[in-house]
Amino acid sequence: MNEISTPRPNNLDAFWMPYTANRAFKGAPRMLARAEGMSYFTNDNREVIDGTAGLWCCNAGHGRREIVEAIQHQAGVMDFAPTFQLGHPIAFQAAAKVAEHTPEGLDRIFFTNSGSEAADTALKIALAYQRARGQSQRVRLIGRERGYHGVGFGGISVGGIGPNRKQFGAQLPYVDHLPHTHLPQQNAFSRGQPEHGAHLADALDNLVALHGDTIAAVIVEPLAGSTGVLVPPAGYLQRLRELCDKHGILLIFDEVITGFGRLGTFFGSERVGVAPDIMTMAKGLTNAAVPMGAVAVHDKIFRAIVDEAPAGIELFHGYTYSGHPLAAAAAVATIDLYVRDELPARAKAMEGYFEDGAHSLKDLPNVIDIRNYGLVCGIELQGRAGKPTDRAVRIFHRCFDAGVLIRTTGDIIALSPPLIVEKHHIDRIYGTIADAIRAEAA
């Protein structure tokens, strides 16, 4: 066990923390020192059960020996090699390993370093494909309200979360948005996919009527996570697939959160029964041990871009660390671990108990909705008048201090525990949340 000393106050100054109220945090820091299995541990060795798989990413739990040893071994063999005009075996092995589990036909894998980069890469590939097939007028990208596709300029342009956009002025041109699928009046406290809302996909017909044949791609999350767990209405994604086919538009699924077992299948597309043309992934790809993202692309798209291009570079896009050896080794070991331990199936078997625990909170003060699908749950709270997010943030602090890590977005509690979660962990997570909700009832 590694001993990690408590940082002195001046050691907190240099790190500008992401998506954090820096002034508030550095005035009262809550620090994590190590992790193992289902738990983090603080500097004073206090256990904090991980109700969020880190940040939707440690699907196999923390400190998995197989992944650690794969990274250590690869570092000793070769720490880095470029993938511009050169190759190294582990990158090709990782791509083949990913392709074993993607939807049929999506067997061309482009590696990135994060979900944000994967989203921007997917958008660029969509545009390149339309140009390659003689549809150069198709330059428009369609996202969705309340969607999250990372923090690159492409991702925030097609994304639909206001605070992620408003500080930065102009974004990509030629972008429009579908309406979100959240219908609380009809679907509050749904278990799994809600009944109402498939018709919202028909808004794509309206966008085609407005923009004509200029739309290259639609990008959506099978389940919107960062905006507060918005579960797709039954039939919605099927209808969106039909309309994209009808209008010659590519369908991109952002599976950064829903990939690698979170919904009880390797990818969310399998769970919802809809195959996209392009799919992004990250987070669970390496169990977050080394940063890595990827884009799975249908063979028809790859061939249109690569086979029809003049001799030389076919796609002018890439990253220094695309297919990084340590990340690739982590991906191979992680996917092997998911398969060996049958973690997607395990998540599916556990989701009923997880769902019942979530809905046991229904009658608590200020709980106005509960949404769940697979091992994901959103608990929406009535915000305090004039103090948006205050109630949820205070509940987050109470839960952490009581030994449970949750995530909040707005006034919504989001849960996504590692897929190794046991029933007693679920009981502890929901029991701690219940106590915190009651304590913040006023």
Structure tokens at 103: 């939807």
pLDDT of 424 reads: 98
Q: Where are the domains of the chain?
A: 9-60+342-439, 66-340
Structure tokens at 90: 């582990």
d(CA 5, CA 18): 23
Q: Are strands 140-144 and 215-220 parallel, antiparallel or unpaired?
A: parallel
pLDDT value at 234 more than 90: yes
What CATH class is the domain 9-60+342-439? alpha beta
Q: Are 55 and 115 in contact (CB under 8 A)?
A: no
How many Cβ atoms are within 10 Å of 385's Cβ, its own excluded?
7
- Tell me the three-class secondary structure of 364-412, residue by residue: CCCEEEEEEECCEEEEEECCECCECCHHHHHHHHHHHHCCEECEEECCE
pLDDT above 70 covers a percentage of the chain that reads: 98
Q: Are strands 47-50 and 39-41 parallel, antiparallel or unpaired?
A: antiparallel
pLDDT of 190 reads: 98
Q: Are 284 and 261 in contact (CB under 8 A)?
A: yes
pLDDT tens by residue, 215-227: 999 999 999 999 9
Let me know if the fold of 9-60+342-439 is the same as that of 66-340. no
Q: Are 319 and 124 in contact (CB under 8 A)?
A: no
Average pLDDT of the chain to the nearest whole number: 96
Amino acid identity, residue 192?
G
3-state SS assignment for residue 240: helix
Which phi and psi angles does 407 have, rounded to 5°?
-125, 145
d(CA 56, CA 394): 21
pLDDT tens by residue, 330-361: 999 999 999 999 999 999 999 999 999 999 99
What CATH class is the domain 66-340? alpha beta
CA angle 115/119/50 to nearest 5° reads: 25
3-state SS assignment for residue 62: strand
Q: What is the mean pLDDT of residues 193-215?
A: 98
pLDDT of 170 reads: 86
